[in-house]
Amino acid sequence: MKTIKIALIQMCVKEDKTANLEKAEKMVAEAARQGAKIVVLPEMFTTPYQNDFFPLYAEVCPGHTTDRMGQWAKKNEVCLIGGSIPEKENGKIFNTCFVFDQTGQMIGRHRKMHLFDIDVKGAIRFMESETLSPGGTVTVCDTPFGRIGVAICFDMRFPELMRLMVDAGAQMIFIPAAFNMTTGPAHWHMTARMRAVDNQVFFGVASPARDKNASYVAFGHSMLCDPWGRIVAEAGAQECIVFAKADLQKVEDIREQLPLLKARRKDVYTLKHVRMD
Amino acid sequence: MKTIKIALIQMCVKEDKTANLEKAEKMVAEAARQGAKIVVLPEMFTTPYQNDFFPLYAEVCPGHTTDRMGQWAKKNEVCLIGGSIPEKENGKIFNTCFVFDQTGQMIGRHRKMHLFDIDVKGAIRFMESETLSPGGTVTVCDTPFGRIGVAICFDMRFPELMRLMVDAGAQMIFIPAAFNMTTGPAHWHMTARMRAVDNQVFFGVASPARDKNASYVAFGHSMLCDPWGRIVAEAGAQECIVFAKADLQKVEDIREQLPLLKARRKDVYTLKHVRMD
């Protein structure tokens, strides 16, 4: 089966963790009801995107939220890219995405590798490193739908990491993410589209819905891009589920017709993964 | 002096080499007359972009065309990024950009490193490797306006090469290029803009003008992007000179505010230049 229906859950995240989990559960079920086989939740979907909330909402994993995500995946028979949650371990907190197959088994875990520390004068300041620690692993997961690369938000700013996922066999990359009202209009579309083109993959980004009353206002515009850089489907700012079909034959065709991956000059430059956590 | 006026010469290239050289000479002089300090010619500006022409128009360098380009740079007191020409050496032909400082001295040479071999069904087929050989050197040039990275057209498809120029100190990157009517509308703008954003540089692309009667129809749309990915100035399809100002303070500011270059996880991945020609 080469064509896969994908759902990107652009949910509105609030302060109430229980309500966030209930909403995510309902939206995953609705996505599955409409035929999605891969379902992607947004970054930090259990907690407001604020440094003062991350420690309060952090969980040891496996734990309550990962258990529930596993159940949602199993019950709905979907591959679930579980957005991200604040994860506690040995006194550190990570921004972590857990991935589950359609039997509910955890098949992947990505800890955000590039922390979002930004200070654009007069526009946006955010320092994830005030509360979070970074991961150090390139993450790909084997699913019945092919090998999937997973990273989180600011990670997609780094072409090196995207490349390493593709070198590890990814045909699709999914990024739970929350750009803001400065970086979103400036860079969101071009980054998602260009990573798809450069790496000749389907590239999906799932954002929280825009909430103008939030401390950190997410841009929204969850979308799936095909390997030619076309936007297959895209949300606006509001809460919704984006459905999009990915025809993996396109990955093969485009890699053949415009052989960017093959044409790399590996005799001139090398990109290497030098550390695993 | 942090703000530099740049001219991108979008000239219409014809079969007559002498006429092409005369036109380039006039357009460089006009660019200088209007205050440009860095002038960029397009890819293969002496010859139609066709494999059967490259061997016929190829020159040993230094030679006639490089001598003339040196004179143009000196006479007009500009830094000249000399587009590219087919260059002959030891029975091989390269697609080569020569760079001259404002005294007319040759300060750089880039041989296209990634040859353009593409076969998009029903749209465009071109195989540079039928006549050309690739270079293997990452090229940066020191100018009074800072360090400049230079590469050619298909080279810009490869994030690794762009990164290596920036690692070598480039604050501006110029790419003589000729996308076509398939790849141009699909990828030209996003590629130039994204390379600027990822690498936090000014990124200029100079194309031949569009000639619908040519065997290979260039897209045009020469443009300069700033390090935030904004298009500072852009041509349409027709012959023209694009003037744009680059304020290098922006490079420093954006590298500070959105510290993408610093935030790379060099402990996790390394990109290395492993060979020099």
Mean pLDDT, range A239-248, rounded to an integer: 98
Residue B171 has pLDDT above 70, yes or no: yes
Structural domain boundaries enclosing A165: 3-257
Is residue B160 one of the residues assigned to a domain?
Answer: yes
Q: Read off the pLDDT of residues A101-158 as tens digits, 9 standing for 90 and up.
A: 999 999 999 999 999 999 888 888 999 999 999 999 999 999 999 999 999 999 999 9
As a whole number of angstroms, the distance between CA A178 and CA A215 comes to 13
Q: Read off the pLDDT of residues B61-120 as tens digits, 9 standing for 90 and up.
A: 999 999 999 999 999 999 999 999 999 999 999 999 999 999 999 999 999 999 999 988
Mean pLDDT, range A249-257, rounded to an integer: 95
Q: Read off the pLDDT of residues B18-52 as tens digits, 9 standing for 90 and up.
A: 999 999 999 999 999 999 999 999 999 999 999 99
Phi, psi of A118 (to 5 degrees): -145, 145
Contact A202, A172 (CB under 8 A): yes
Is residue A264 one of the residues assigned to a domain?
Answer: no
Which residues does A267 contact at the CB level (< 8 Å), separation at least 6?
B136, B274, B275
Mean pLDDT, range B121-150, rounded to an integer: 94
Q: Do A136 and B267 touch (CB under 8 A)?
A: yes
User: What 8-state DSSP symbol labels residue A188?
Assistant: I
Q: Do B120 and A257 touch (CB under 8 A)?
A: yes
Q: Read off the pLDDT of residues B254-273 as tens digits, 9 standing for 90 and up.
A: 999 999 999 999 999 999 99
**A175 forms bridges with which residues in the sheet?**
A205
Is residue A262 one of the residues assigned to a domain?
Answer: no
Give me the pLDDT at residue A123, please: 87
Residue A186 has pLDDT above 90, yes or no: yes
Is residue B270 one of the residues assigned to a domain?
Answer: no
Which single residue is written with the structure tokens 């990164």? B163
Give me the pLDDT at residue A1, please: 57
Give me the pLDDT at residue B277, please: 60
Is residue B216 one of the residues assigned to a domain?
Answer: yes
Is residue B269 one of the residues assigned to a domain?
Answer: no
As a whole number of angstroms, the distance between CA B60 and CA B53 comes to 15
Q: Read off the pLDDT of residues A73-86 as tens digits, 9 standing for 90 and up.
A: 999 999 999 999 99
Tell me the CA distances in angstroms from B24 to B28, B35, B83, B145, one per residue in order: 6, 17, 10, 23
The single-letter code of the amino acid at B20 is N
Mean pLDDT, range B191-197, rounded to an integer: 98
Chain-centroid distance, C-alpha B206? 6
Contact B15, B23 (CB under 8 A): no
Tell me the CA distances in angstroms from A6 to A194, A221, A254, B143, B144, one per residue in order: 20, 15, 20, 50, 52
Is residue A163 one of the residues assigned to a domain?
Answer: yes
Query: Closest to A258 (Cβ–Cβ): which among B120, B197, B228?
Result: B120
How many residue pairs from chains A and B have C-beta atoms closer than 8 A? 137
Give me the pLDDT at residue A120, please: 86
Mean pLDDT, range B156-160, rounded to an integer: 98
Contact B207, B220 (CB under 8 A): yes
Interface test with B, best of A197, A265, A266 (most B CBs within 10 A): A265
Phi, psi of A161 (to 5 degrees): -65, -40
Total count of domains within chain B: 1
Give me the pLDDT at residue A277, please: 61
Query: Closest to A269 (Cβ–Cβ): which among B118, B161, B256?
Result: B161
Is residue A276 one of the residues assigned to a domain?
Answer: no
Active site residues of B: 43, 112, 153
Q: In which band, very low, low, confident or very high, does the pLDDT at B1 lie, cut at 50, 70 and 90?
A: low
Which is nearest to B138 in space by CA: B106, B160, B171, B107? B160
Residue A276 has pLDDT above 90, yes or no: no
Residue A93 has pLDDT above 90, yes or no: yes
And the tokens for A192?
Answer: 């998602």
Give me the pLDDT at residue B269, please: 96
Q: CATH code at B169?
A: 3.60.110.10
User: What 8-state DSSP symbol labels residue B11?
Assistant: P
